[in-house]
A = this chain, B = another copy of it.
Amino acid sequence: MDFASFITSVVTSFVIFVVLVLVFTFLSRRPGNAPVYYPSLLLRGLDPLEGRRRGSRSPVGWIRDAISTPEADVIAAGGVDAAVYLVFLSSVLSILVFSGIVLLPVLLPVAGTDHALDLQAAAGINQKNANSNNDSTPDFPQMERLGLGNVQSHSKRLWAFLLSVYWVSFVTYFVLWKSYKHVSNLRATARSTPDVKPEEFAVLVRDVPRSSPDETIKDSVDSYFRALHPNTFYRSMVVTDHTKADKIYLEIEDNKKKIARAEVVYANSKTASNPEGTKPTHKTGFLGLIGKKVDTIEYCSEQIKELLPKLEAEQRTTLRDKQQRAAIVFFNSRSAAASASQTLHAQVFDKWTVMEAPEPREMIWPNLSRNIYERQIRQVVVYVIVFLTVVFYTVPIAAISAVTTLDNLRKLLPFLKVVVDIKAIKTILQAYLPQIALIVFLALLPAFLMFLSKSEGIPSQSHVVRATSGKYFYFIVFNVFLVYTLAGSLFTSAKAIINKPTFSRIINMLATSLPGGATFFLTFVALKFFVGYGLELSRVVPLIIFHLKRKYLCKTEDDVRAAWYPGDLGYSTRVPNDMLIVTVVLCYSVMAPLIIPFGVAYFALGWLIAKNQVLRVYVPSYESNGRMWPHMHTRIIAALLLYQATMIGVFGLKEFTYSPILVPLLPISFIFAYICHMRFYPAFANTPLEVTQHELKETPNMDAIYTAYIPPCLKPDKLEDLDVFEDAQSHTTSRAPSI
């Protein structure tokens, strides 16, 4: 990539970003768009206009708001998870700012005043690096002069770069330690609030052993836990296989919606000219296209009348006969539940395994009843599939990065020649084509990984998101970062790698290839943050969809609400994508320090926009109290290790005598990771008793806590029916403790 196309790329990105911000400023002031730009405020019953009025004072009002809003408000709006995500962004930002403050003023002059590249060009050395890059013309833009590549081998100037590696590493340790402490406190505070949360009184029990045939699982769970926790046991709820009941329930809900819609249509049809109105009708057959024509309201009411007794019968059958080997056990205090969830219950570990109960809204019911061996086997199978996916996705990606150079495209698709040869279009295409191909390609993956994670047998949505995020991270670092960097070299020296795939060889390979990729990744970061964040902030796509839906599809208030309901932040793809940028920027931070300002801009803008969106747009779909943090922390350290290993290789190539000085950094990183894990992680994996002992706001309503866990399709109509519900699960009605 030459200098012109780099500048074009950055400038174009910036122009798009400015346009999108202007669009946002203009559109977000129109009251009609409030559900798109302020859905979170609307759902929390706040007045978006009040925010608009403040915002209208200046077009950058949202920036002021985002900066000034305290963390407590963020937690109130988006939960601890959102706050932790912001801590992640600001931590990386701090790492990059602290690194940049030292690296930019020191390294740029040191590199800029050396002449390695000039010397190479003058001597006419046909440098391998230059060749292996996409562009075959060895033109050295100003930028490459400002990197490690311009420093001669053996030079004493390398000391500055070597010490910079240490500086960046220690800045990272310092910031990460501070952040882990901060997040740990956030979590402790969130868990010790006086609010009554159902999941804090419950424990998930799996692997309930096969009881005797004349005792239901419910009874054996009850008698077991009542015997072990005589003073604190409240009641239990056995997990049932309610797929069939759920189907009937959804059918009823669907019919109810149809009636509501039909009634609105009917009311609207009562115009002055037709005071009776036309009753809406539909056909009963496939997709409403064939079959008998019926009056919608009457037909659906009848359907409901038919389905209701069916549902009731199914509910009874489900509760009694479809009990699974898992249960949720309720305790009458938070400490008792926390303590029970951490205590070994059975002598043999494959029976009565206990863990903290997830929130009711994030339960994955079908996974609860899988037994411990099935979970283990599923996990192994999923890991193997993920490994294969990560490793063999390289093949298509490498092919794409080889094909999508402009020259190749012109050769392969000759009809594009006319378009491609126009100078302006050529420059733009040359700047964006590989990156766009990459981004589109990556969009296909998350759903697949999410499916795999769910198949592992994980009981909660938040855990699935974390698992997906981890898999996606490995994928993205391996395939985008490593493979794109290595692709050129791989084709030339694939044989060498295959013959001797030793670790030191891979490090060498990386060290040789990395400098060439600097400009590619500069463009990649710029594209991601300008265009990505522009789209994110302006919400152009949701806006268009919302207006289209409201105009043509929505009939009732509920329909409109569904049309603008924003969903959550989508951590499973957002976090790994940010992690990729962290990895890229860290790895290039010393080699091409110019990437640091881009990284700073990415995370500063990212933090600003994410905070705005958390406060005004997204609605959390679960609350895991920051359990994502240890995951992010580990992966930042993984990126740091990759960076340190690469730098050892790079200095080795520069034939610098003192490069072994860098080696101790690797064990230091491992020790740091171990200490953080030992000190902070247990409180993320379990609930410490300290935080459960705080006073509650009110005496907990145990019935409400119990009801919160009943799936909607099994919920009795009246709260008083709870006992009926419970008795339906028991075989006998006696409650005497017996084991």
Chain B's closest residue to A685 (CB) is: B344
CB–CB A338/B343 < 8 A: yes
Distance, CA A682 to CA B372, complexed state (A) = 14
Distance, CA A338 to CA B683, complexed state (A) = 19
Cross-chain contact of A349 among B340, B681, B687 (Cβ < 8 A)? B681
CB–CB A349/B680 < 8 A: yes
Is A342 among interface residues, defined by CB-CB distance under 8 A?
A: yes
CB–CB B339/A688 < 8 A: no
Is A350 among interface residues, defined by CB-CB distance under 8 A?
A: yes
Interface residues of A in 397-426 (CB under 8 A from B): none
Is A678 among interface residues, defined by CB-CB distance under 8 A?
A: yes
Cross-chain contact of A679 among B343, B345, B350 (Cβ < 8 A)? B350
Q: A335-B228, A339-B339 are in contact. Are A690 and B345 (CB under 8 A)?
A: yes
CB–CB A679/B349 < 8 A: yes
Distance, CA A13 to CA B107, complexed state (A) = 77
Interface residues of A in 649-690 (CB under 8 A from B): 678-683, 686-690
Is A188 among interface residues, defined by CB-CB distance under 8 A?
A: yes
Chain B's closest residue to A349 (CB) is: B682
Please name all residues of chain B whose beta carbon is closer than 8 Å to the beta carbon of A693 when the two chains form the complex. Answer: 227-228
Please name all residues of chain B whose beta carbon is closer than 8 Å to the beta carbon of A681 when the two chains form the complex. Answer: 349
Distance, CA A227 to CA B695, complexed state (A) = 11
For A499-523 the 0/1 string (1 means CB < 8 A from B) is: 0000000000000000000000000
Secondary structure of the A side of the interface? Answer: helix
Distance, CA A188 to CA B678, complexed state (A) = 30
Distance, CA A349 to CA B676, complexed state (A) = 10
CB–CB A689/B184 < 8 A: no
Please name all residues of chain B whose beta carbon is closer than 8 Å to the beta carbon of A699 when the two chains form the complex. Answer: none
- A507 CB to nearest B CB, Å: 20
Q: A343-B342, A343-B343 are in contact. Are A228 and B690 (CB under 8 A)?
A: yes
Is A346 among interface residues, defined by CB-CB distance under 8 A?
A: yes
Is A287 among interface residues, defined by CB-CB distance under 8 A?
A: no
CB–CB A691/B347 < 8 A: yes
Please name all residues of chain B whose beta carbon is closer than 8 Å to the beta carbon of A347 when the two chains form the complex. Answer: 184-185, 187-188, 683, 688, 690-691
Chain B's closest residue to A692 (CB) is: B228
CB–CB A342/B345 < 8 A: no
Distance, CA A349 to CA B682, complexed state (A) = 7
State the number of copies, please: 2
Distance, CA A690 to CA B739, complexed state (A) = 10
Cross-chain contact of A346 among B340, B346, B688 (Cβ < 8 A)? B688
Chain B's closest residue to A678 (CB) is: B349
CB–CB A348/B184 < 8 A: yes
CB–CB A231/B231 < 8 A: yes
CB–CB B344/A689 < 8 A: yes
CB–CB A344/B680 < 8 A: no
Distance, CA A681 to CA B343, complexed state (A) = 14
CB–CB B689/A343 < 8 A: yes
Please name all residues of chain B whose beta carbon is closer than 8 Å to the beta carbon of A344 when the two chains form the complex. Answer: 342, 682-683, 686-689
Q: A184-B348, A348-B184 are in contact. Are A689 and B342 (CB under 8 A)?
A: no
Distance, CA A338 to CA B185, complexed state (A) = 28
Query: By CB atoms of chain B within 10 A, which of A187, A228, A681, A687 has the most?
Result: A228
Please name all residues of chain B whose beta carbon is closer than 8 Å to the beta carbon of A686 when the two chains form the complex. Answer: 343-344
Distance, CA A376 to CA B347, complexed state (A) = 30
Please name all residues of chain B whose beta carbon is closer than 8 Å to the beta carbon of A343 when the two chains form the complex. Answer: 338-339, 342-343, 686, 689
Please name all residues of chain B whose beta carbon is closer than 8 Å to the beta carbon of A688 when the two chains form the complex. Answer: 344-347
Chain B's closest residue to A682 (CB) is: B349
Distance, CA A680 to CA B350, complexed state (A) = 8
Please name all residues of chain B whose beta carbon is closer than 8 Å to the beta carbon of A185 when the two chains form the complex. Answer: 347
Please name all residues of chain B whose beta carbon is closer than 8 Å to the beta carbon of A350 when the two chains form the complex. Answer: 678-679
Interface residues of A in 291-345 (CB under 8 A from B): 335, 338-340, 342-345
CB–CB A679/B348 < 8 A: yes
Chain B's closest residue to A352 (CB) is: B690
Chain B's closest residue to A231 (CB) is: B231
- A461 CB to nearest B CB, Å: 24
For A214-257 the 0/1 string (1 means CB < 8 A from B) is: 00000000000001100100000000000000000000000000
Distance, CA A345 to CA B682, complexed state (A) = 10
Distance, CA A693 to CA B347, complexed state (A) = 12
Chain B's closest residue to A185 (CB) is: B347
CB–CB B188/A683 < 8 A: no
Please name all residues of chain B whose beta carbon is closer than 8 Å to the beta carbon of A372 when the two chains form the complex. Answer: 678
Query: By CB atoms of chain B within 10 A, which of A184, A347, A376 has the most?
Result: A347
Distance, CA A690 to CA B678, complexed state (A) = 29
For A100-138 the 0/1 string (1 means CB < 8 A from B) is: 000000000000000000000000000000000000000
CB–CB A683/B349 < 8 A: yes
- A515 CB to nearest B CB, Å: 33
Please name all residues of chain B whose beta carbon is closer than 8 Å to the beta carbon of A231 when the two chains form the complex. Answer: 231
- A201 CB to nearest B CB, Å: 16
Distance, CA A349 to CA B180, complexed state (A) = 13
Please name all residues of chain B whose beta carbon is closer than 8 Å to the beta carbon of A188 when the two chains form the complex. Answer: 347
Distance, CA A691 to CA B687, complexed state (A) = 24
- A334 CB to nearest B CB, Å: 11
Distance, CA A35 to CA B705, complexed state (A) = 66
Distance, CA A350 to CA B180, complexed state (A) = 14
- A382 CB to nearest B CB, Å: 17
Please name all residues of chain B whose beta carbon is closer than 8 Å to the beta carbon of A187 when the two chains form the complex. Answer: 347
- A411 CB to nearest B CB, Å: 46
Distance, CA A339 to CA B338, complexed state (A) = 10
- A353 CB to nearest B CB, Å: 9
Distance, CA A656 to CA B624, complexed state (A) = 57
For A600-628 the 0/1 string (1 means CB < 8 A from B) is: 00000000000000000000000000000
- A339 CB to nearest B CB, Å: 5
Chain B's closest residue to A688 (CB) is: B344
Please name all residues of chain B whose beta carbon is closer than 8 Å to the beta carbon of A184 when the two chains form the complex. Answer: 347-348
Please name all residues of chain B whose beta carbon is closer than 8 Å to the beta carbon of A349 when the two chains form the complex. Answer: 678-683
Please name all residues of chain B whose beta carbon is closer than 8 Å to the beta carbon of A345 when the two chains form the complex. Answer: 688-690
Query: By CB atoms of chain B within 10 A, which of A185, A344, A372, A682 has the most?
Result: A344
Question: 22 A–B contact pairs at CB < 8 A?
Answer: A187-B347, A188-B347, A228-B689, A228-B690, A338-B343, A339-B340, A342-B342, A342-B344, A343-B343, A343-B686, A344-B682, A344-B683, A344-B687, A345-B688, A347-B688, A347-B690, A347-B691, A348-B679, A348-B683, A349-B679, A349-B680, A350-B679
| Extra A-B contacts (19), CB below 8 Å, given A344-B688, A347-B691, A348-B683 | A184-B347, A188-B347, A228-B335, A228-B693, A338-B343, A339-B339, A339-B343, A342-B343, A343-B343, A343-B689, A345-B689, A345-B690, A346-B690, A347-B688, A348-B679, A349-B679, A349-B680, A349-B681, A350-B678
In order of increasing CB-CB distance, the 5 nearest A-B pairs are: A188-B347, A344-B688, A349-B682, A344-B686, A228-B689
